[in-house]
Copies of this chain bind each other. A is one copy, B any other.
């Protein structure tokens, strides 16, 4: 049975059993049938499929079709981020997707982190390939032999490359559209520097750009931090991260990472220059950083509601849908024509003000059907125009994000809509930020850790940063449950991971060096760390 059939079957079987509370009354096959707050995973699948963001790819499990509505979001992210990194002197490039076993295995920790998920091409046509090749799970080992070739003197530094591409990680864990998929799209930046300071600076410059992508473009709040030793990138020196929060499940999601690789890879791949001061060989300092289509899934999970998608204006392919209404059997043909003309005029006026507007003049659907249709697709603003609106020279504006409705004068419609789009973008972020903040709980005794976690929160604790302690926290916070309970996304059973050591540390109470204790093991605490259940 294909993945999609299973998903549908799951819905069907749930209908008749325990989760009756999940079903939205009067919902049609076209809209969303289950409540986000009750059956999150079915809700997520329905929103993605029915809004036409994504299709399940039946042939290969864990692969999905990114449809235009979602791909457009990716293109908006690309446009912003590509321009931003070019300003930092990064150049786009394209390396092959294939890597030989020999290169792939050159950095030991790195390959240990990826080996289990690597897809291998062993045949071409009907012949076996003499040396099977791997499909990149990430491109460090593809690129760095060439860094070694191209970097000869300090004048060749910094080298800053980026590529937009697909990567494959053949995971056997439960796949989740956008969040965990066997093939995904991302950008991967790879840079080499003369000094550690330069590399450090860039790590945080990139992290800040990622923050802008999430917070300013996708209206998704994130916490910036540094990963623990256990959770850092395989083979790297340290990893900085953005951590998102999915309120519906209380789970965290790693949103983007910017790694300082230190000199580990440059030693393995022999990327050296001569120090201009003393002619000694120096290994370069390297970074790598990536942001993927996972970001689209995070945005959907956070902003979507029981009517479907809710798109932040900055990534909405259609920002305003204009719908004629109030046309009845008594309306004259002339009046109907007048309304339709006004709808078209408004669309043109908005478009010339740079707003992505569209008319829905379809004859065979009622206004109500159209409202549902565009709400499902997350269009930020709906404008209704009927015969009476023409008399009053106004249009009813409905906001998708908060459902508010307000008549606005046609006279200054472009500036009003433009302002409202900005307001929506800000409001969506502010609301999500408040929810996130409310779910980050400072916990100062171990006894409160698991209950706070089970209350769908992140837990911020004074922590020793030791790997043994992290393993023990995970073990102590794993709920031992039945298999059926384990399937319930509302109460996940997996143990807590350290998500990051946040850059902005709480200071009430502050960590007193040499005094404050780790709440788990009692050793000395170094910093507050954010723990949570995570995707």
Query: In the complex, A103→B129 CA distance in Å?
Result: 23
Binds B, one of A110-118, A231-239, A241-249, A438-446: A110-118
Q: Which residue of B lies closest to A362 (CB)?
A: B155
Binds B, one of A36-44, A59-67, A398-406: A59-67
Q: Which of A96, A126, A183 has the most CB of B within 10 A?
A: A96
Binds B, one of A86-94, A468-476, A513-521: A86-94
Is residue A416 within 8 Å, beta carbon to beta carbon, of the partner chain? no
Tell whether, in the assembled complex, residue A65 and residue B93 are in contact, meaning their CB atoms are under 8 Å apart: yes
Query: In the complex, A132→B121 CA distance in Å?
Result: 10
Query: In the complex, A97→B136 CA distance in Å?
Result: 13
Query: In the complex, A471→B398 CA distance in Å?
Result: 67
Residues of B near A122 (CB, < 8 A) are 120-123
Tell whether, in the assembled complex, residue A93 and residue B119 are in contact, meaning their CB atoms are under 8 Å apart: no
> Which residue from B59, B95, B165 sits with its C-beta under 8 Å from A100?
B59
Check A98/B63 contact, CB under 8 A, given A118-B124, A122-B120. yes
Query: In the complex, A65→B124 CA distance in Å?
Result: 21
Is residue A135 within 8 Å, beta carbon to beta carbon, of the partner chain? yes
Tell whether, in the assembled complex, residue B124 and residue A170 are in contact, meaning their CB atoms are under 8 Å apart: yes
Is residue A133 within 8 Å, beta carbon to beta carbon, of the partner chain? yes
Is residue A204 within 8 Å, beta carbon to beta carbon, of the partner chain? no
Tell whether, in the assembled complex, residue B121 and residue A116 are in contact, meaning their CB atoms are under 8 Å apart: no
Query: In the complex, A66→B164 CA distance in Å?
Result: 12
Is residue A99 within 8 Å, beta carbon to beta carbon, of the partner chain? yes
Query: In the complex, A96→B116 CA distance in Å?
Result: 21
Check A183/B123 contact, CB under 8 A, given A60-B133, A102-B59, A133-B60. no
Check A98/B60 contact, CB under 8 A, given A118-B125, A165-B166. yes
Indicate with 1 or 0, residue by residue over A64-97, a CB within 8 angstroms of chain B CB atoms. 1111100110110000000000000001111111
Q: Which residue of B lies closest to A171 (CB)?
A: B124
Residues of B near A72 (CB, < 8 A) are 91-92
Residues of B near A99 (CB, < 8 A) are 59-60
Tell whether, in the assembled complex, residue B118 and residue A120 are in contact, meaning their CB atoms are under 8 Å apart: no
> Which residue from B124, B165, B183 sits with its C-beta under 8 Å from A98?
B183
Query: In the complex, A68→B146 CA distance in Å?
Result: 14
Query: In the complex, A507→B126 CA distance in Å?
Result: 48
Is residue A185 within 8 Å, beta carbon to beta carbon, of the partner chain? yes
Task: State the Cβ distance, A261 to closest chain B Cβ, in Å.
Answer: 20
Q: Which residue of B lies closest to A118 (CB)?
A: B125
Tell whether, in the assembled complex, residue A60 and residue B96 are in contact, meaning their CB atoms are under 8 Å apart: yes
Query: In the complex, A168→B121 CA distance in Å?
Result: 11
> Which residue from B67, B100, B161 sits with its C-beta under 8 Å from A60?
B100
Indicate with 1 or 0, residue by residue over A179-217, a CB within 8 angstroms of chain B CB atoms. 000010100000000000000000000000000000000
Query: In the complex, A528→B240 CA distance in Å?
Result: 64
Residues of B near A132 (CB, < 8 A) are 123
Residues of B near A133 (CB, < 8 A) are 59-60
Residues 266 to 315 of chain A near chain B (Cβ within 8 Å): none
Indicate with 1 or 0, residue by residue over A148-175, a CB within 8 angstroms of chain B CB atoms. 0100000000000100011010100000
Residues of B near A389 (CB, < 8 A) are none
Check A75/B96 contact, CB under 8 A, given A65-B146, A115-B125. no
Tell whether, in the assembled complex, residue A97 and residue B170 are in contact, meaning their CB atoms are under 8 Å apart: no
Check A96/B146 contact, CB under 8 A, given A103-B59, A120-B121, A122-B123. no
Residues 218 to 238 of chain A near chain B (Cβ within 8 Å): none
> Which residue from B55, B66, B96, B168 sits with its C-beta under 8 Å from A57?
B96
Tell whether, in the assembled complex, residue A117 and residue B121 are in contact, meaning their CB atoms are under 8 Å apart: no
Tell whether, in the assembled complex, residue A93 and residue B121 are in contact, meaning their CB atoms are under 8 Å apart: no
Tell whether, in the assembled complex, residue B183 and residue A64 are in contact, meaning their CB atoms are under 8 Å apart: no
Check A117/B123 contact, CB under 8 A, given A66-B93, A68-B161. no
Q: Which residue of B lies closest to A52 (CB)?
A: B150
Task: State the Cβ distance, A74 to closest chain B Cβ, in Å.
Answer: 8
Residues of B near A119 (CB, < 8 A) are 121, 123-124
Tell whether, in the assembled complex, residue A94 and residue B116 are in contact, meaning their CB atoms are under 8 Å apart: no
Q: Which residue of B lies closest to A96 (CB)?
A: B63
Query: In the complex, A117→B124 CA distance in Å?
Result: 6
Task: State the Cβ distance, A503 to closest chain B Cβ, in Å.
Answer: 32
Query: In the complex, A68→B92 CA distance in Å?
Result: 5
Give me 8 other A-B pairs in contact (C-beta within 8 A), A118-B124, A119-B121, A135-B135 excluded: A57-B96, A60-B100, A60-B133, A67-B93, A97-B183, A115-B126, A117-B125, A120-B121
